[in-house]
Amino acid sequence: MNVDRELFYKEFVQRESNILRAPYDPELEFYSVIKSGDIKKTRELCSQSLLDKNGLGTLSEDPLQNVKYHLVITAALVARYCIQGGMGVSAAFSLSDFYIQKADRCKTPQDVADLHQIMCLDYAKRMKNLRKEKICSRHVANCIDYIHDHLHTRITAGFLAGYVGLDPSYLSRLFKKETGLSISEYIRFKKIETARNMLAYSDYSPSLISSILAFPSQSYFTEIFRRHTGMTPLRYRSQHFRNTEFDDRPHT
């Protein structure tokens, strides 16, 4: 299949263009972006004040209490999403409690709206740091950043070694030591993780997802996906498409 992998991949990850945009639940996108540790995109999504949010329901006739209730809902959901992404249960809910208590002391709706943005960015930053907390070297951290930004391409250990200026054998040993996975295993894991998100939160077909993520063939993608998840891409979509239920077990 001849597709512009970079266009589709960045369109899915960044959601900045309406061209070729797949239908996507904005609420699911919001929490998933925070879970992924994407600080830039979280800041963009928070650029609209909570007070100006379309469809903000009325939970209280008092404007201040109403926006406080909405912050509490956000705090609870973002904590659950971050737990799903690997944050410790205690850490996630302690942070939630911290911001709920701060919101309780706010005197104006704008104060709560400002706190809402600070809270979301705090969670996103912690998720980004969590992704790298076991990474000691700058070289491996740079490799991981490159992999996350280029999952739409075929990435090799040799290329990454040239990218960070290390001998391929040395980089491979260093990467395995610091992440617990070989470079190829890590790339494959991140591609399957992204494919799961695409199946759950976009209308992209499995064949298109396979092409976007630069798998050699759809049959190989299906085989690898089944190996990681225990089911085919189509079955995974049927069970998880825009499903807001949570699995409390952190995904590693």
- 245 — pLDDT class (breaks 50, 70, 90): very low
List the CATH number of the domain containing 153.
1.10.10.60
- Predicted confidence at residue 54, as pLDDT, reads 65
- The secondary structure of residue 51, as a DSSP letter, is G
Report the pLDDT averaged over residues 189-204. Answer: 86
What tens digit of pLDDT does each residue of 31-83 get? 888 988 888 889 988 887 888 776 677 888 999 999 999 999 999 999 988 88
- 169 — pLDDT class (breaks 50, 70, 90): very high
User: Residues 171, 120: one domain?
Assistant: no
Long-range CB pairs of 11-17 (<8 Å, 24+ gap) are 12/198, 12/202, 12/204, 12/212, 13/38, 13/41, 14/41, 15/41, 16/44
Q: Considering 101, 130, 159, which residue would you say is the last residue of a domain?
A: 130
Q: What angle do CA 199, 200, 203 make, to 5 degrees?
A: 60
Which has the closest alpha carbon to 46: 110, 99, 117, 115? 117
Report the pLDDT averaged over residues 136-143. Answer: 85
- 11 — pLDDT class (breaks 50, 70, 90): low
CB 167 within 8 A of CB 139: no
Report the pLDDT averaged over residues 157-169. Answer: 96
In-domain check, residue 114: yes
- Predicted confidence at residue 15, as pLDDT, reads 43
Q: Considering 96, 130, 164, which residue would you say is the last residue of a domain?
A: 130
User: Residues 149, 223: one domain?
Assistant: yes
pTM: 0.56
* Nearest-angstrom CA–CA distance, 205 and 77: 28
- Predicted confidence at residue 33, as pLDDT, reads 87
- How many domains does one find in the chain? 2
| 54 Cβ neighbours under 8 A, 6+ residues apart | none
In-domain check, residue 245: no
Q: Is 4 left (phi over 0), alpha (psi -120 to 50) or beta?
A: beta
* Nearest-angstrom CA–CA distance, 231 and 106: 48
- Predicted confidence at residue 55, as pLDDT, reads 62
Higher pLDDT, 240 or 68: 68
Average pLDDT, the chain: 83
- 24 — pLDDT class (breaks 50, 70, 90): very low
User: Residues 154, 197: one domain?
Assistant: yes
Structure tokens that stand for 95 in this block: 């942070």
User: Residues 74, 108: one domain?
Assistant: yes
- Predicted confidence at residue 47, as pLDDT, reads 85
Task: Tell me the helix, strand and coil percentages in the chain, rounded to 5.
Answer: 70, 0, 30
User: Residues 138, 220: one domain?
Assistant: yes
What tens digit of pLDDT does each residue of 88-133 get? 888 888 899 999 999 999 999 999 999 999 999 999 999 988 876 6
Higher pLDDT, 8 or 115: 115
Provide the domain limits for residue 204: 5-12+134-240
Residue 14 has pLDDT above 70, yes or no: no
